[in-house]
Each structure stands twice: as structure tokens, then as C-alpha cells.
Amino acid sequence: MLGSMEQTLLGGRYQVVRRLGSGGFSRTFLVSDLHLPNHPRCVIKQLKVQDKDTGTLDMARRLFDTEARVLYQLGNHPQIPALLAHFEEDQEFYLAQEYIEGSRLNRQVEEGKPWSETRVVLLLQEVLEILSFVHRQQVIHRDIKPSNLIRRHRDGKLVLIDFGAVKQVTSSPLLDAETGATNITVAIGTHGYMPNEQYAGKPRFSSDVYAVGMLGIRALTGLHPQKIDEDPVTSELAWRHHAPETSSALTAVLDKMVRYDFRDRYPTAQEALEALQNLPNPLHGLVGTQIYQTWMRGSQGRGPTFPGDDYDSTLGPTETSEPTAFADDQDSTSLFPVDLAYSNGSTSGALPLVVPDVLEEEFKLPVRLGSLLAVGLLSTFGFGLVIWRSGLTIAFEPSNQTVTIPFQRAGTPSLATDLSMLLPPEEKATYLSRQGDRLWDQGSYPDALDIYNEAVEVQIDYAPAYLGRCKTLISLKRPVEAIAACDDALAYSTYYPEAVRSKGNAEEQQGHLLAALELYESANRLMPAMAEAWLDRGRVLQKLGRSAEALAAIDQAIARDRESAEAWTVRGEAALALKRYDHAIIALEKALQIDPDYGPAQDLRQRARRLLGR
């Protein structure tokens, strides 16, 4: 069967290279896209339909289209594989997704090899940051586990794959492959990472939080979750004695993440992330001395080793997976914290570049800069170099060092400008755009505009720089130029709902309300989870005097973000126009609870009270 598929172009464009995996509901292939220059590789997931009668196919088709739109939306995140295409062929359904080259995390979370608390905290924070985005899009992943996290080769970032949303398409309305029974509500997940409500087919956002907590406990204890017992009285996990050195603060956070009753957990990934970020001294006094180290190639493809590690890996129980993106493990890339160590003064032997998350995030420093920086910087200092700038640390350590002595903070000149000059165009454009974003957040609009313009000069097709330019020009009350910038962003990224929404902001600023409304409606269709576009739509509808429609749009915005004072204020204004005075007062009171100094809400509340004679 595979041989015949290799001779066939899927969707008329994808040439099968090899099969990557298969499961009860899908098969996954590595393919080449023959319609694009250089035939780049991507992943095709073929979704199986067990029963191909007309009713089942129609239902599967509707669900498939819905879930493909969700995945398209999620792929906007840089640490989630992008959905490139979805199509139906010969009554089979196919998803084409970005191919992630990297190493699965289960190659690092090894049986019998506990991680340090610092490593665990940093891992959990990175996973929860991605998951927070997923939850904001109203999506539950349902299968968080080490094999569904890939450490990407090109930048060392974690990538979250294999979304439960895809599995809803293949399982819910169809036949169970083993029993033949129809599954209306199906438990999807992996044993050990799946809480009780998910077993019952009723997953919640906190079900994902549970899985991430189990990931942390597995890393801390070195034990697969299925080997951790439950308390016979409370049904809570009895894991603490397997990691007795864990701080009480982290233990409390993990315990809350994995509570048996979902109502006792953090409700979403964002709350769990905030709890981790608020840990008292979460890195145990090693902030600035615990950093991320990137290896482009690990020993025998295994990734980095740490003092005391051996080369023999014993993995835990097999975790089956149906990947939507697949990582080859031949060349392992890892990004983990290590203690900085003084060098013995020798420059012989391997000197891996040590780069912290702050640097990797802010400057996008590629690992290939290591040798260049080593030559210039080590010759100046003669020992392991430390550069500290607002939490930024760069250091080298000898590969045979066994005793670690933390460096202390050192005051040295900024290297930001020099580093940006060394970056290749696409990474420099990213670096500049993020600098522009920070300036825009601070209200430094002229400076932000200069930075975005520089990013465009560096890489003319970098859509985020054009979007930044558009938003900044709106803030500077230059809507005509802003529209041109948003059009440029859309020319280089055809799926860019944020740019559609910003173009609507520019049209609204000019008083072109109908044109703005059309753009906001388009943004809603492209990204239904974007609360800001629903708020924009409701605000314009209210300006047009269409209060009932405005109320409906604002309710959509509030359902996605209940902490927007502007949304509650517009709701109050619409209710007031519809003479629903009590509803207006309630909405305006809510707006002022969120922001007591929000002027429009204060003014409208006074007006509503006058109308009610209060």
C-alpha cells in the first residue's frame, strides 16, 4: 500500500517520502510539496473513516472542516506546527502541517534520571506559555506528554504537537476501530497523563493543567506516572516521597495542578503559569547563574549530558502517539539549564556556547555564533565569560568541568547592537520587531516606527514588521499610511487576522464605519477566539446605531475576555440605547470594578443613573 502511495501525489502536489507513524484513526507521512520551489518537506496526516456511508461521511466532513479551521488558527503560534492545507480525496481526509525537525522530549525525560528543580520549573513555564495560547483559543489539547513536545533544532524551542482537536474529527461520530461501537463521547489521551474527568469523556482546560503537572512530576521523580501510587483515602497522587528535596513551594503548585477533582486545580494554563512565575525565588537563588545551554548535536544523537550522566538511556513505558508533526531523533537539539562554572583558563577542548532563555527570546541568537563570540571574547577575558545586562548572561564552560561555582553578576557593556548586527536577516527582523513591540507597548510610537521600518529594510517580506508599522501609525493618527502597512502585511501573509483587524482600526479612525465593520467581521471568521475583533465589531455596530447587534457581538467578546473594561462599557452603552437600564448599570459597574478610573464607564453610569432617577 505504501509503495503505491509513493507513486501518487496526494492532493495533486504532495509526494510521499516515507511513513512516520500510524494509529487507530490516522496515518502520518513525511512528504515533499512539489508545487513549491525546492520541494520543501511537510507532514501529511491521513484521517481514517471506518464507516463510509453517506451520513457518516457528511458528518466527518463537517467536523473535519471545523477542526481544520481551529488548527489553522492555532498554527499562528510560533511553537505550534502551522496547518498548510486540508483536503479530501477519495473519501479520505488529509491535513498538511509544518514539519518540525527536532528531538522529542521523551528522549530527555528518562526513567530513573530525575531532573533538578530548576530544570523542571523552566520546562513547565515553557509548556504552559504555549498552552495558555491554546486555551485562549478555546481549545483543549487533551494529550500533553513528553512525546508530544519536540525540541526544535533550529532555535531550541519546544513545539507542541498532536492536538486532540484533530482526534475529535476522527473519533467522536465514527466507529471505534476495535469494538465497532459508535462513540459519541470518547476519552482521548494517554494513561498516566489523563485525569478522571477526561477518562469519562468530559475534558476541561484543567485536564491539560493536570497533564503538565504530571510531566513535571515525572521529570522530578524519574518515574513514569503509571508507577506513582494514589493515596487510598483521598485519591491524590502520592509522589512527594519520590522527590523529597523538592521545595515546598513547587510541591504546592504541582499538587494543585494534579488534584483529583478538577475544581481544585488551576482552571487554565495561564493561572498555573502565574503560580509558577510567583514562586518565592523559584530558581533557588540561582537566578542569573542558571541558564539555558544549546547543543546543536548531542552525543550519539541523544542531546546534552550533565555531570554524572551516563550514555545508556532507559526509557519508560511506551507512549503511543499519532503525531501531527514528527521529529527525527538522529540529530538532537536540547535547551536546558546548567550551573555556570569557572574555566581552568584553557581554551582547548569543546566549549559549548551557553545562552539563556532571555537572550534566546530577546535576541534570537543563533548557536552558530558560538565560535565567533568565543574567539573574540575569550581572548579578552581568558576564562569563562559572563556578560550581564538586565538578566542577560552569556558564558562558556569547559566540557570536562565537574565542579560548578556560580558566577556573580558582572557589569559589562551592552552587546545588543553588536549581536543584532551579527544576526542573519530573518532573525534580525524578528529581533527588531520585538524591540518595536516593546516600544509600542511603552507608548514610544516614533521610536517604535523607526525600529519597524528598519526591520522591513532588513527583510522586506517580514509580515509582523508591517503589522507593527500599521499599529504604530494608527497610534500616531496616520490611518492612510496605516492601511498601506496592513495591506503589505496581508500581501506577505495571507492568513493574518491581526492585520485584518488593525486595518479595520485604521478605517474606523477615518470614520469609514461600514468598511471597518466588514473587516472586523472578516477577522471574526478567520479567528473566532480573538476577543479584540469582537469588541471592535460591537463598538462600530453601536456607533452605527445597531445596538441589538452590538450587544450580541460584545457578548462574544466578553465570553473570550471578561476582564475588558471597554467591552463591559460598550455593553452598557448598547443596553442603555435599548432601554435596558438595569442591564446597563450592571455592565458599567462591572467595567468600573475592572478599572475604577475608566472615564467612559463613569460618564455612562452617571447618565444611566439620571435616567433611572437614582
pLDDT at 214 over 90: yes
Residue 536's nearest CA partner among 560, 567, 495 is 567
Residues 404 and 439 placed together within one structural domain of the fold: no
DSSP bridge partners of 101: none
Give the per-residue pLDDT at 537.
96
Please give the angle made by the CA atoms of 323, 176 and 174, to the nearest 5 degrees: 85
- At position 435, the amino acid (one-letter code) is Q
The residue whose grid cell reads 476541561 is 204
Please, are residues 347 and 282 in contact by the beta-carbon 8 Å criterion? no
Residues 76 and 210 placed together within one structural domain of the fold: no
Contacts of 468 (CB under 8 A, 6+ apart): 433, 436, 437, 440, 448, 452, 455
Q: Which residue has the higher pLDDT, 4 or 91?
A: 91
Q: Is 143 a catalytic residue?
A: yes
**Segment 131-168, tens digit of pLDDT:** 999 998 888 888 899 999 998 877 778 999 887 544 44
The residue whose grid cell reads 510531566 is 215
Q: Classify residue 363: in a domain, yes or no.
A: yes
Give the per-residue pLDDT at 479.
96
Q: Classify residue 310: in a domain, yes or no.
A: no
Q: Which of 361, 378, 412 is at the close of a domain?
A: 412
Residues 252 and 210 placed together within one structural domain of the fold: yes
Q: How far apart are CA 98 and CA 166, in angstroms?
A: 15
Query: Which structural domain range is residue 76 located in?
Result: 2-98
Q: How far apart are CA 471 and CA 443, in angstroms?
A: 11
As a whole-number percent, the residues of the chain with pLDDT over 70 amount to 69
The grid coordinates of residue 136 equal: 485562549
The residue whose grid cell reads 534580525 is 428
The residue whose grid cell reads 496592513 is 486
Contacts of 350 (CB under 8 A, 6+ apart): 398, 399
Q: Which helix (H) or strand (E) is 131 found in, with range? A: helix 117-136
Residues 245 and 115 placed together within one structural domain of the fold: yes
Residues 385 and 490 placed together within one structural domain of the fold: no
Q: How far apart are CA 299 and CA 345, in angstroms?
A: 25
Q: What is the 8-class DSSP label of residue 8? A: S
CATH number at residue 613: 1.25.40.10
Q: How far apart are CA 337 and CA 356, in angstroms?
A: 8
Mean pLDDT to the nearest integer, 11-35:
84
Q: Where are the alpha helices (DSSP H) in 442-530?
A: 445-458, 463-475, 479-492, 497-509, 513-526
Q: Classify residue 588: in a domain, yes or no.
A: yes
- Other C-beta atoms closer than 10 Å to the C-beta of 298 total 18
Please, are residues 326 and 30 in contact by the beta-carbon 8 Å criterion? yes
Please, are residues 159 and 146 in contact by the beta-carbon 8 Å criterion? no
Q: How far apart are CA 382 and CA 481, in angstroms?
A: 52
Q: How far apart are CA 357 and CA 115, in angstroms?
A: 18
pLDDT at 359 over 80: no
Mean pLDDT to the nearest integer, 455-470:
91
Mean pLDDT for the chain overall: 74
Q: Which of 71, 98, 125 is at the close of a domain?
A: 98
Our measurement of the distance from residue 160's CA atom to the centroid of its chain's CA atoms, rounded to an integer in Å, reads: 7
Residue 148 half-sphere exposure, CB side, CA atoms within 13 Å?
27
**Segment 58-115, tens digit of pLDDT:** 777 776 777 677 788 787 788 999 888 888 888 788 889 888 888 889 888 888 889 9
Residue 295 half-sphere exposure, CB side, CA atoms within 13 Å?
22
Mean pLDDT to the nearest integer, 351-372:
35
Please, are residues 332 and 298 in contact by the beta-carbon 8 Å criterion? yes
CATH number at residue 56: 3.30.200.20
Looking at the structure of the chain, the number of domains it has is: 5
Burial (CB count within 10 angstroms: exposed 0-12, middle 13-18, buried 19+), residue 145: buried
Q: What is the 8-class DSSP label of residue 99? A: P
Q: Which of 68, 98, 128 is at the close of a domain?
A: 98
CATH number at residue 237: 1.10.510.10
Task: Please tell me which residue in 33, 90, 143, 328 is annotated as part of the active site.
Answer: 143
Give the per-residue pLDDT at 426.
61
Q: How far apart are CA 236 and CA 221, in angstroms?
A: 16
Burial (CB count within 10 angstroms: exposed 0-12, middle 13-18, buried 19+), residue 12: exposed
| CA distance readout (Å), 576 to 161, 568, 606 | 46, 12, 12
Contacts of 278 (CB under 8 A, 6+ apart): none
Q: Classify residue 319: in a domain, yes or no.
A: no
Please, are residues 210 and 81 in contact by the beta-carbon 8 Å criterion? no
Q: Classify residue 282: in a domain, yes or no.
A: no
Residue 499's nearest CA partner among 482, 518, 476 is 482
Q: What is the 8-class DSSP label of residue 368? A: G
Residues 501 and 607 placed together within one structural domain of the fold: no
Residues 441 and 553 placed together within one structural domain of the fold: no
Q: How far apart are CA 462 and CA 456, in angstroms?
A: 7
Residue 188's nearest CA partner among 197, 92, 21, 66 is 197
pLDDT at 530 over 70: yes
Residue 191's nearest CA partner among 375, 7, 318, 298 is 318
Residues 113 and 241 placed together within one structural domain of the fold: yes
Give the per-residue pLDDT at 554.
95
Residues 90 and 110 placed together within one structural domain of the fold: no
Least confident of 203-217, 218-232, 419-433, 597-611: 419-433
pLDDT at 578 over 70: yes
Give the per-residue pLDDT at 5.
55
416: left (phi over 0), alpha (psi -120 to 50) or beta: alpha
Confidence category of residue 4, pLDDT binned at 50, 70, 90: low
**Segment 488-519, tens digit of pLDDT:** 999 988 778 889 999 999 999 999 999 999 99
DSSP bridge partners of 586: none
Mean pLDDT to the nearest integer, 586-614:
89
The residue whose grid cell reads 506559555 is 129
**N- to C-terminal Cα distance for the chain?**
77
Q: Classify residue 321: in a domain, yes or no.
A: no
Our measurement of the distance from residue 107's CA atom to the centroid of its chain's CA atoms, rounded to an integer in Å, reads: 21
The grid coordinates of residue 79 equal: 511553537
Hey, what's the torsion of the CAs at 205, 210, 212, 215, to 10 degrees? -160
pLDDT at 410 over 70: no
The grid coordinates of residue 395 equal: 558564558
Q: How far apart are CA 61 and CA 451, in angstroms?
A: 45
Confidence category of residue 25, pLDDT binned at 50, 70, 90: low
Q: Classify residue 329: in a domain, yes or no.
A: no
Residues 250 and 113 placed together within one structural domain of the fold: yes
The grid coordinates of residue 530 equal: 480573538
Least confident of 82-91, 162-171, 552-561, 570-579: 162-171
Q: Classify residue 314: in a domain, yes or no.
A: no
Q: Which residue has the higher pLDDT, 238 or 496?
A: 238
Give the per-residue pLDDT at 522.
92
Residues 481 and 601 placed together within one structural domain of the fold: no
Residues 408 and 439 placed together within one structural domain of the fold: no
Please, are residues 389 and 414 in contact by the beta-carbon 8 Å criterion? yes
pLDDT at 604 over 80: yes
The grid coordinates of residue 129 equal: 506559555
Contacts of 370 (CB under 8 A, 6+ apart): 351, 352, 353
